[in-house]
Structure 1
Amino acid sequence: MNALAITPTCAETASLDYPIFKKAMLNACRVVEKRNTIAVLDTVLITARSGGVDVIGTDLDIYTTTFVPGSVSADFVALIDAHKLKGLMDKVKDAARINFTLEQGALTAAIGKLRLSLKQDVPEDDFPLEMAFRSSLQRSNVAFTIRASALLTALSKVEFAISTEETRYYLNGVFMHFHEGRGQLTFVATDGHRLGRYEILPPPGCEAMDDAGAIIPRKTVGELLRLLKRKDCPADVAVRVTPTAISFGFNGEEMLESKLVDGTFPDYQRVMPASNSNQVTARTAEFITALKQASSISSDRGKSVKLGIAPEALTLSCSDPDFGSVSTEIYIDTNAEPFEIGFNAQYLLEILGQLDGGAMMHLGDAGSPGIIKDGADNAVTYVLMPLRV
């Protein structure tokens, strides 16, 4: 008998912490699109690393990498349909380990009593690991550490103002830059109708950022916010920036790498009035309630609200050509002479919903943008374009 015929084949195995693997799969599936014309982009790459595996998912613009501890063969690597695997795992609530065995191209997995036989139709070399923007991040000289809580607040306060208009693609993200004049690390988002700006003390190293700053794409911002909101989020986030890419690292165990929006963010400071002398202060909750009542008369998202400013009273009025009109008023503190100004009611509601303290409005005339500040947080500034009413 030929001796080679009885030589046992060597199987590659991976026994991984299941709860952390579930987290890794969630991270991957948040990035991997559900419908792809390129088969490999449906998959998640699981590849051996010292002490465990890296679980990697991508849509070519964003990469997410999560380390999962375990006992792993040095050469273990597998490609699995990301959303199908996660969908199945969602049905398995309690398990300590997931065990993979790869032998002669056949991959099996065991989760508790569940046994899986998984196809390996896509060659591992097809997975697009070597991307130029990822390589550039490793060579970046712009690296700094930022408090996770500060980054969460900054992004949360401005995200709603990101434009969804694809023709002005340079507004489809949050603009992060070091504002040398103000000495702040600044986050800005705008859709041309409303603008949000949040400023924090600059972490050492961020001042090396290019003057053009970084426009973080909307999808990346959304995923980053999800990671930052978790209860087990690390206290600090490691950030790297290049002219084309940005990365966010969490304790060396999770990494989010992303291309930047390829464009120039407009000079937003040109639309920020410097001399709005009419100051109006109101209780935010009361303002929101009154605005919802007045604007409920119309179902049109672009509905306008007219604000009538008078000593100690702000009158909010809306009209609908098919129904009529409605008005209500709230108490305010103001230094302004009586005048009227109009705004998009929905945009104003969204801004008021971001405030933690009183609403502090700095207004010019009826044709000038209004500035809204938060009585509890001076780091945030909102600008809202007026409407003719």
Structure 2
Amino acid sequence: MKFIIKQSSLLEGLYRLGGVVGEKQNFPILNCVLVKTEKDKLKFISTSLEITIITYLESSIEEEGIVAIPFKRFVSIVRELPKEEVIVEAYKDNLHIKSEKIEFRINCINPEEFPEVEENIEESLIKLSISDLLEMIKMTSFCVGREELSYVFSGILFEIFESKINLVATDGKRLSFIQRPLPSTQPPINNKIKFILPIKSVYEVQKIIKDKEEVFIFVKGNDIGFDVKDTILITKTIEGEFPDYSQYIPQPTQDILTLKRSEFLSSLKRAQILSIPEYQGVKLNIQKTQMSISKSTPQLGELKEVINVSYTGTPLEISFNPNYLIDVLKNIDDEDVKFEIYGSDKPAVLRKDDFIYLVLPIKM
């Protein structure tokens, strides 16, 4: 195999692959990227067995072939080369990398050891808006369960039906739901598509769709693919049944707490300074026109401050983990924020443009 390629193009392509390489330390071949010549393009494949990324790069192919290259060493070399043409040539178990007066030789692994991965794309592709998908991931990913509560909580639920797409995430203490329409050029989906995407896969999807124009998804058994023209990500889904989240979302109430997002966010960040695992809660004393925010931690100290609010319900005290409020407030842009309050032992709900965030109070 021999090809010539611009250093910047090669490095950009390698960066797309890096997130899934090297996770299986007991399998050296999975620390490699498989490179194939395919007509006038190079095909790069990396896999962790759970996630596979395939990307294509334009190149001048002088000799066809296939090679498995240790990824980290290869990307480290390419990163330090001049921004000029790079000549890469594979000979037996060696890879020669040349650029101007620089020449590297590194050992490779037999490409036949590389596992077979799913590369076929289903014909029934579903078009998604990249801006909508990025926003939906941003508004749900912070709710994904990081603790060993339930495996199905360690990803984001995707639901695609008719002309809409829903994303839902929960860790059992809070829940985030967002809905957006499918692009107008996408025909309605008559058979509901539903799957849970692992959070690791979600982060890799974010990386490959950023700065792209359009993305298509395809479903093949337990595999989900995201296709952005020159790069394809194929991932295993999480097996299991996501709970019926709709039963936990209460009907709207007239008891509305309205406040300034930036002011409340700053107050919560100050309260968070005094948080430790044993004392996480922040107490909110909600009155008609004011709300006091207090935090007390025996080992550290205490805080109390008052902000102006508008509240249409009966005054009450309610406590939350400040992190759960900070996470949602820092991801929305509106300055005026409305929380629906159902009682001191009931969840608070924020609704905004087909986005719903529900957070449970804590006992103090």
What secondary structure, in the 3-state scheme, does the structure 1 residue paired with 2:139 have? helix
**Structure 2 length normalisation: TM-score?**
0.92
Match of 1:345 in 2: 322
- Contact 1:49 1:74 survives alignment (8 Å): no
Match of 1:59 in 2: 48
Structure 2 counterpart of 1:277, one-letter code: Q
Match of 2:230 in 1: 253
Equivalent-residue separation in structure 2 for 1:222 and 1:67 (angstroms): 20
Q: Structure 1 stretches of 5 or more lacking a match?
A: 1-11
Match of 2:305 in 1: 328
Match of 1:82 in 2: 71
For the pair 1:153 / 2:135, whether they are aligned, the reply is yes
Q: What is the CA distance between 1:177 and its match in structure 2?
A: 0.2
Distance of aligned partners of 1:145 and 1:302 in 2 relative to their CA distance in 1, 3 Å threshold: farther
Match of 1:125 in 2: 112
Distance of aligned partners of 1:82 and 1:217 in 2 relative to their CA distance in 1, 3 Å threshold: same
Match of 1:197 in 2: 177
For the pair 1:384 / 2:359, whether they are aligned, the reply is yes
Q: What is the CA distance between 1:386 and its match in structure 2?
A: 1.1
Match of 1:369 in 2: 347
Q: 1:178 aligns with which of 160, 165, 179?
A: 160
- Contact 1:170 1:262 survives alignment (8 Å): yes
Structure 2 counterpart of 1:20, one-letter code: S
Structure 2 counterpart of 1:163, one-letter code: G
Distance of aligned partners of 1:34 and 1:267 in 2 relative to their CA distance in 1, 3 Å threshold: closer
Equivalent-residue separation in structure 1 for 2:283 and 2:161 (angstroms): 35
Q: What is the CA distance between 1:179 and its match in structure 2?
A: 5.6
Equivalent-residue separation in structure 2 for 1:31 and 1:323 (angstroms): 41
Q: What is the CA distance between 1:172 and its match in structure 2?
A: 0.9
Q: 1:108 aligns with which of 65, 79, 96?
A: 96
**Structure 1 length normalisation: TM-score?**
0.86
Distance of aligned partners of 1:32 and 1:305 in 2 relative to their CA distance in 1, 3 Å threshold: same
- Contact 1:161 1:196 survives alignment (8 Å): yes
Match of 1:5 in 2: none
Distance of aligned partners of 1:14 and 1:50 in 2 relative to their CA distance in 1, 3 Å threshold: same
Deviation digits for residues 116-143 of structure 1, max 9, x if unmatched? 21223x3222212344xx55xx3464x2
Structure 1 counterpart of 2:240, one-letter code: G
Match of 1:7 in 2: none
Match of 1:91 in 2: 80
Listed as ranges, the matches of 1:264-343 within 5 Å are 264-300=241-277, 303-343=280-320
Q: Structure 2 stretches of 5 or more lacking a match?
A: none
Distance of aligned partners of 1:103 and 1:275 in 2 relative to their CA distance in 1, 3 Å threshold: closer
Deviation digits for residues 326-379 of structure 1, max 9, x if unmatched? 2211111221121111111111111111121022101101111110234xxx13
292-301 or 111-120, which deviates more: 292-301
What secondary structure, in the 3-state scheme, does the structure 1 residue paired with 2:8 have? helix
Equivalent-residue separation in structure 2 for 1:114 and 1:35 (angstroms): 32
Structure 1 counterpart of 2:44, one-letter code: V
Q: Work out the number of aligned pairs and report it.
A: 361
Equivalent-residue separation in structure 1 for 2:220 and 2:338 (angstroms): 37
- The percentage of aligned residue pairs carrying the same residue is 22
Equivalent-residue separation in structure 2 for 1:74 and 1:302 (angstroms): 65
Equivalent-residue separation in structure 2 for 1:105 and 1:179 (angstroms): 50
Match of 1:237 in 2: 215
Deviation digits for residues 225-277 of structure 1, max 9, x if unmatched? 22334xxx222111112341211111x21111111111211111122111433
For the pair 1:226 / 2:220, whether they are aligned, the reply is no
Q: CA RMSD in A?
A: 2.1
Structure 2 counterpart of 1:247, one-letter code: G
What secondary structure, in the 3-state scheme, does the structure 2 residue paired with 1:336 have? coil
What secondary structure, in the 3-state scheme, does the structure 2 residue paired with 1:248 have? strand
- Contact 1:28 1:82 survives alignment (8 Å): no
